[in-house]
Amino acid sequence: MLDYEILRLIWWAILGILLIGFAILDGFDLGVGMLLPIIGRRDMERRIMINTVGPVWEGNQVWLILGAGASFAAWPYLYAISFSGFYLAIFLALFGVILRPVGFKFRSKIENPTWRSFWDMMLFLGGFIPALVFGVAFGNLFLGVPYHFNDELRIVYTGSFFDLFHPFALLTGLLSVVMFIFQGSNYLAVKTESPLSERASTVSLLSGLAFLALVTLGGWMVYSLNGYSLENFSAFKGPSNPLHKTVAVIPGHWLYNFTVHTSLWSAVVLLYISVALALLTQKLKRPILAFVFSSLSIASTLVMAGISLYPFLMPSSTNPNHSLTVWDASSSELTLKIMLISVVVFLPFVLAYTAWMYRVMRGKVTSIDIEKNSNAY
């Protein structure tokens, strides 16, 4: 039987896996949306781009729903602070997410250039806004979120919407946008023919280099930020209570885990190698391999961020001692066990369905396919 301490670690890893699944799969949907007015020069080219993601975007978005659901059930404090303190930011992100299905459905209903250009811009915003907001929110975890608990263990959020836009958070937001453009361009290189695939390949090379530059700059800025250190906490197997610990704020401490366990630097090395291999294989006209390596670079980026933050889930800038960690923000032991059983039973079905869906939808999307299919977007 798994004890409470191990269950918390397992659910921390599961939450990370769900975020990686969202970033890889829904990431190329967002990237294609952002690229729509950039590399789609004719209406048919833009229709081709839309139809590369049209059959799969709803399935990809399941990973976002699973991530939100997992945080609600396994990490209730994390969910509560995120969806209350970041309310306006999350509302803005959801507004962008909602623009996508509306844009897909409405764009091709009327054969009018002005109508279609309007929805092309909405689809661009539907990719750009969520990518930026998710990145900005993630960057704020490294800065600390302005909240604390009162004597009744109720959450008090002391920040504002505009406080989220710290220069470092804006950098991580830009990094998120570029990362998804990189993923989307590699996907388009796989799913389209020339000249779209050639333009996507060019964007892949440029965005990949920008991705590396932003990751390097972000790493340097993380080293200059104040990090959080868990100084005194003994209730690893006890009930969740975020008030029973002492946290110190130390400059540069977000890299502490890498200095203690030097093998963790392999995640950083893997990130740079995977981006380099994605660029190389894209240059050699091997787009499928480029997509695989860009997916690996996204996974490496999130793993690297998770390692830096561990064991913190959401640090508090108002009162560091009230920060949420893996050990004091989870649901009960029984809840985590029941949920783990559900994951073991149902996640293989989700993975099998996803694999089957992509197998059925394999191959390139062409103008001939769209003209033959009356249901095409």
Task: Decide if 31 contacts 360 (C-beta within 8 A).
Answer: no
Mapped onto helix, strand or coil, the DSSP state of residue 251 is: strand
| 322: Cβ contacts below 8 Å, ≥ 6 apart | 147, 148, 149, 242, 243, 316
- Reference 350, options 49, 35, 65, 32; nearest CA is 65
Q: Other CB atoms closer than 10 Å to residue 283's CB: what's the count?
A: 12
Residue 26 amino acid letter? D
| 223: Cβ contacts below 8 Å, ≥ 6 apart | 252, 254, 255
Tens place of pLDDT for every residue, the chain, 377 residues? 688 889 999 999 999 999 999 999 989 999 999 999 889 888 899 999 998 988 888 888 888 888 888 888 899 999 888 888 888 888 898 898 888 888 888 888 888 889 989 999 999 999 999 999 999 999 999 999 999 998 888 888 888 888 888 999 999 999 999 999 999 999 999 999 989 999 999 999 999 999 999 999 999 999 889 999 988 776 667 778 888 889 999 998 999 999 998 999 999 999 999 999 999 999 999 999 999 999 999 999 999 999 999 999 999 999 999 999 998 889 988 999 999 999 899 888 888 888 888 888 888 888 887 877 766 67
What's the pLDDT at 201? 94
- Reference 305, options 215, 236, 217; nearest CA is 215
Which residue in the block uniquely carries the two structure tokens 């806004």? 129
Q: What is the pTM of this model?
A: 0.92
Measured CA to CA, the distance from residue 179 to residue 24 in angstroms comes to 10
Mapped onto helix, strand or coil, the DSSP state of residue 249 is: strand
Q: What are the structural domain ranges in the chain?
A: 4-372
